[in-house]
Chain A
C-alpha cells in the first residue's frame, strides 16, 4: 500500500500523528515528516495508514 502526501494541502494539524505516530510525525518546525521510505507503507502498518488517511481533516493524505 502507498500513501501519497499532498504537501500543498497539508496544514500541519497533526491528526495523522495522533492516530499513527509510527508512520507520521510533525518535526520541530511543525512540518509533516513520514517515517517510512518513499510512499510505500511498511508491511503490517496498513491499518495505521488507513486510520491516518481517515483522520486527516483536510484531505491531505491519499491511499493508493
Chain B
C-alpha cells in the first residue's frame, strides 16, 4: 500500500500566518501528522505527541546538520550546543551548561530578587509604561550581560543581534536577508570578544575562554559557544515575559488568584510559555528513513518541530486556546523544547520570571493592559509594544 504524502503550498512564513498563526497550525494538525511544506521543502510536524517523540529521538532527528531552514546558517552554527549531536553535544553542553543549572544559579537568587524588586518599584512610580521595552526587555538585559562578563561597550547591540540570530533560524527569506549584516557584525564582535582578558574574570564567558585555553573546547568554536549564551537568552525571555504580563492583565481574576496563592507562580510562567511559545519552530535533519504517524519521511529530508502548535494541540490540552494559570499539566509544554536539546537556559529563564512574579505579587494589585502590537519575525513570537498600567 502506498500513502500519498499530504502536501501544501501554504506559506508558513507569510506575514498573515506569523501574525495569526493558530488557525493555520490547527489546520495542519487536522490534515496529517506530518505535512510537506512545498515552499520550504520541509515536513511540518505539528501534533504534541509527534513533536515530543521526535525531540526524544535525536538519532533519527538530528541537530548536528543544523536546525535552521537554510544552509549558510546551519554551516555557521556548527559546534554550538544547539547545532551538534552526541557525543560532542554532551561534552559541550556540560561545559557551557554548568553555570546555568538551577543548582549553580542558587547563589544568584538574592541578586535577581533585588533587581526585580527595584524594577517593579520603578514601574509603579511610572504608573504607565511599555510592557515590552520597560519590563520584558530591560530585565534580561540587566542581568545576562553581567553574568556573561560582557564589557560595557557593545551591549547596545544585544537585542538586535539576538533578533537577527533568530531571524536567520528560519528560511533565508527577505526578513532574514535584511538582518544578515547585523548578524555579520555580531560574528565579528564575537571573534574579538573571546580573546583572553576581554570577558570579566569569574564570568560565564571567561570560564569558557579558560576551558578553551586548557584544551577542553576547541578555540575556534568559542564564538559559537558565547553565542549560545547570548542569542537564545534574550528574545525568548523577552517574549515569555511580555506574554505573561499581557495575559495577567487580560485576566484580572487569575491575577487575583496568583496574589492569593503565590505557589501558582511557577505555573504562571509555564502557562505563558505554553500559550505563546516564544520559539515558533526549529528543524531537524532526518538521518534514516522513518515515519511519523504513518507518513513516510525519507532519509535526508528535514522536519520542522512546531513547538507553538504542539503547545495548542487539542489532542493533548483541554481548551488549548484558553490561558489558565491553574492548568494542571502546564509543565508538559514543549516551549523549551524537550530531550537532549531541551533548553539549557530554562533554569535562568525561570529564575528571571519567578523573581519578577514574586515582586509583582507583593507590590502590584492591578495590572491593566492595552492592545499589543506584534512583530513579524521568522522564529520569535514577539510583541513590539504593550501599553501597561500598574497600581499598588
Q: Write the residues of chain A forming the contact surface with B, with a CB cutoff of 8 angstroms.
A: 8-9, 11-15, 18-19, 29-31, 54-55, 57-59
Contacts and interface: CB of A to CB of B under 8 A. Distances in A.
B274 to A, nearest CB: 13
Interface string B41-63: 00000000000000010000000
Contact of B106 (A30, A55, A57): A30
Contacts of B90: 8-9
25 contacts: A9-B90, A9-B340, A11-B97, A11-B100, A11-B102, A11-B103, A11-B344, A11-B347, A12-B103, A12-B347, A13-B347, A15-B331, A19-B331, A29-B103, A30-B106, A31-B103, A57-B336, A57-B337, A57-B338, A57-B339, A57-B343, A58-B342, A58-B344, A59-B338, A59-B342
A55 B338 CA distance: 9
Contact of A58 (B103, B331, B332, B340): B340
A59 to B, nearest CB: 5
Contacts of B340: 9, 58-59
Interface string B325-341: 00000011000111110
B94 interface: yes
Contact of A13 (B332, B339, B346): B346
B101 interface: yes
Nearest to A31: B103
A31 B56 CA distance: 24
Contacts of B102: 11-14, 30
A6 to B, nearest CB: 9
Which of B56, B97, B100, B338 counts the most A-chain CB atoms under 10 A from its CB? Answer: B338
Contacts, number: 47
A5 to B, nearest CB: 15
Interface in B192-248: none
A25 to B, nearest CB: 14
A31 B338 CA distance: 21
B242 to A, nearest CB: 22
B337 to A, nearest CB: 8
What 7 A-B pairs are tightest by C-beta distance, nearest first?
A30-B103, A57-B342, A11-B101, A58-B342, A12-B103, A12-B102, A59-B339
Contacts of B97: 11
A16 to B, nearest CB: 11
Contacts of A55: 331-332
A19 B328 CA distance: 10
Contacts of B100: 11
Contacts of A59: 56, 338-340, 342
Given A11-B102, A57-B346, A58-B339, 4 more contacts: A11-B103, A30-B106, A57-B337, A58-B342
Contact of B94 (A8, A13, A30, A54): A8
Contacts of A30: 101-103, 106
Contacts of B101: 11-12, 30
